[in-house]
């Protein structure tokens, strides 16, 4: 009883390990997209963009704080103010050499909303760069699609080859018996063996192709999926021949317009008055605030400053017009992009429809070729036809099945590419 329990547990463990191994050898198209994007070096730029944006925002906020500068100036001049003469009640003779060292402080009470506008620009600029990054990453989907279907087509063709090799093996065994009995010529048997070797060479070629495709795919995804990994396509259901476009390029164009409109807010802020407090204090010779004091003296002053550019000769209005035109250009670029995608809809639908009609014919051809091959195989074994006639039919039947599989994979690829083009995958 104990041995039975041990055996049962061992078998259960082996079965669970096998199931787990099988589950880990499945790669869906969506997972491949995610892994490719996560591994792509360009994705590192997103973190750098966020860091730069945070630094710029901090710099903008610091701009609201008071500014304090240390200044110094010394000069010699050929002439200076002189009041009165020696011996009179008022006699002021300012020196030709003067100097001044002081600290200057300024604090913006109101800058016309320029700080807020700069912050809006920084947010819009970051969003625009993030959308631009997504546009660059989207091309990875096309590369993954190409590799996925290259592998699937190679596998299907390889399966068809193996079926033909098995059929030829069956006839080689049968013909070998005839040759051993002296009823079949050696050349007839050799022709079958040659064709088997040719098909095996093609099988080796497909194996090499699959290995190479997986090598590129694993490099793109930073994974180690074996060549036996099952590649799963998403459930696509009924074909929607008029889907809405949902591409990152559209968001990129919108973010460009937002950025331009944010720039316009800084132009508006530049036309508003600026109000600030200022203060200055230091030491000078002679006294900078009392010209009658011809000595080294400390001093201080402060006040309120208003700055308003009331006449800009129409520069601001021209800047607004320029931004308005740039926004219109961006909208035209977006509409052109959407038009180019929508214009491919008819091409895709016609190709898919044509391939489906071909698949229907291919299916009928394959069925007929299989029947003919079965009859030919019987005729070969009965000695009614020779090996050449049989191999001609083997090649015809294999070609028909390969054509069917090719068209079936092409339809799948077209549908996936179509959904990818419209941003549905």
State the Cα–Cα distance between residues 221 and 233, nearest whole angstrom.
17
pLDDT in tens, 158-181: 999 998 899 888 888 888 888 888
Mean pLDDT of 380-403: 90
* pLDDT score of 86: 58
* pLDDT score of 1: 41
Q: Using 50, 70 and 90 to split pLDDT, how confident is the model at 22?
A: very low
The percentage of the chain sitting over the pLDDT mark of 90, rounded to a whole number, equals 44
Whether the predicted pLDDT of 19 surpasses 70 = no
pLDDT in tens, 255-309: 999 999 888 888 888 888 889 999 999 999 888 888 778 888 999 999 999 988 8
Q: Which pairing describes strands 67-76 and 97-110: parallel, antiparallel, or unpaired?
A: antiparallel
State the Cα–Cα distance between residues 91 and 289, nearest whole angstrom.
18
Q: Up-side HSE of residue 1: CA atoms within 13 Å toward CB?
A: 0
Q: Using 50, 70 and 90 to split pLDDT, how confident is the model at 411?
A: very high
Q: Using 50, 70 and 90 to split pLDDT, how confident is the model at 53?
A: confident
* pLDDT score of 20: 40
DSSP string, 9-55: HHHHHHHHHHHHHHHHTEEEHHHHHHHHHHH-GGGHHHHHHHHHHHH
State the Cα–Cα distance between residues 91 and 93, nearest whole angstrom.
7
* pLDDT score of 87: 58
DSSP E strand stretches across 248-400:
274-285, 297-307
Q: Which residues contact 359 (CB under 8 A, 6 or more apart)?
A: 404, 407, 408, 411
State the Cα–Cα distance between residues 280 and 144, nearest whole angstrom.
66
Residue with the two structure tokens 């807010």: 265
31-45, 63-77, 328-342: which is most confident: 328-342
Mean pLDDT score across all residues of the chain:
86
Whether the predicted pLDDT of 12 surpasses 60 = no
Mean pLDDT of 90-107: 83
State the Cα–Cα distance between residues 165 and 224, nearest whole angstrom.
31
Q: Which residues pair with 230 in a beta bridge?
A: 26
Mean pLDDT of 218-238: 88
- In this predicted structure, which of 22-26, 95-99, 137-141, 287-291 has the lowest mean pLDDT? 22-26
Whether the predicted pLDDT of 254 surpasses 90 = yes
Q: Using 50, 70 and 90 to split pLDDT, how confident is the model at 82?
A: confident
pLDDT in tens, 307-351: 888 877 888 888 889 999 999 999 999 999 999 998 888 888 899
pTM: 0.78
Inter-helix orientation angle 315-342/248-270, to 10°: 170
Does 27-64+111-272+314-421 match 66-110+274-307 in CATH topology? no
Dihedral sign of CA atoms 23, 26, 29, 35 in order = positive
Whether the predicted pLDDT of 153 surpasses 70 = yes
For 66-110+274-307, give the CATH class.
Answer: mainly beta
pLDDT in tens, 166-221: 988 888 888 888 888 888 888 888 998 999 999 999 999 999 999 999 999 999 99
- In this predicted structure, which of 9-23, 88-102, 255-269 has the lowest mean pLDDT? 9-23
* pLDDT score of 89: 62
Cβ neighbour number for residue 98 with a 10 Å cutoff:
16
Give the architecture-level CATH label for domain 27-64+111-272+314-421.
Answer: Up-down Bundle (1.20)
Q: Up-side HSE of residue 152: CA atoms within 13 Å toward CB?
A: 22
Q: Which residues contact 291 (CB under 8 A, 6 or more apart)?
A: 81, 92, 94
DSSP string, 380-401: HHHTSS-HHHHHHHHHHHHHHH
State the Cα–Cα distance between residues 74 and 57, nearest whole angstrom.
38
Which residue ranges make up each domain of the chain?
A: 27-64+111-272+314-421, 66-110+274-307
């Amino acid at each position: 009883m104990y041995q039975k329990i041990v055996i049962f547990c061992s078998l259960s463990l082996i079965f669970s390990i096998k199931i787990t191994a099988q589950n880990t050898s499945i790669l869906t198209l969506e997972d491949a997209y995610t892994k490719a994007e996560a591994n792509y070096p360009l994705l590192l730029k997103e973190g750098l963009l966020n860091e730069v944006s945070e630094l710029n925002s901090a710099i903008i906020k610091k701009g609201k704080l008071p500014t304090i500068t240390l200044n110094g100036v010394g000069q010699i001049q050929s002439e200076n103010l002189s009041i009165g003469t020696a011996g009179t009640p008022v006699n002021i003779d300012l020196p030709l050499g003067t100097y001044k060292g002081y600290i200057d402080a300024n604090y913006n009470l109101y800058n016309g909303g320029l700080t807020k506008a700069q912050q809006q620009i920084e947010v819009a600029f970051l969003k625009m760069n993030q959308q631009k990054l997504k546009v660059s990453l989207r091309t990875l989907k096309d590369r993954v699609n190409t590799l996925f279907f290259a592998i699937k087509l190679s596998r299907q063709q390889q399966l068809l080859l193996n079926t033909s090799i098995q059929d030829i093996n069956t006839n080689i065994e049968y013909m070998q018996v005839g040759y051993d009995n002296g009823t079949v010529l050696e050349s007839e048997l050799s022709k079958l063996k040659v064709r088997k070797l040719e098909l095996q060479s093609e099988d080796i070629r497909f194996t090499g192709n699959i290995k190479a495709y997986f090598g590129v795919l694993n490099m793109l995804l930073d994974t180690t999926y074996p060549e036996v990994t099952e590649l799963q396509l998403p459930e696509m259901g009924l074909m929607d021949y008029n889907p809405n476009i949902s591409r990152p390029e559209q968001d990129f164009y919108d973010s460009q317009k937002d950025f331009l409109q944010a720039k316009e807010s800084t132009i508006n802020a530049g036309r508003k008055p600026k109000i600030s407090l200022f203060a200055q204090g230091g030491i000078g010779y002679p006294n900078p605030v009392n010209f009658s004091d011809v000595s080294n003296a400390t001093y201080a002053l402060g006040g309120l400053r208003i700055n308003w550019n009331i006449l800009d000769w129409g520069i601001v209005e021209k800047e607004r017009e320029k931004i308005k035109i740039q926004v219109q250009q961006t909208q035209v670029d977006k509409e052109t992009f959407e038009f180019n995608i929508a214009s491919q809809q008819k091409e895709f639908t016609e190709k898919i429809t044509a391939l489906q009609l071909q698949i229907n014919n291919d299916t009928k051809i394959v069925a007929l070729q299989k029947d003919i091959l079965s009859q030919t195989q019987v005729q070969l074994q009965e000695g009614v036809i020779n090996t050449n006639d049989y191999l001609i039919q083997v090649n015809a039947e294999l070609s028909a099945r390969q054509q069917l599989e090719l068209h079936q994979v092409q339809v799948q690829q077209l549908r996936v590419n179509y959904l990818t083009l419209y941003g549905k995958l």
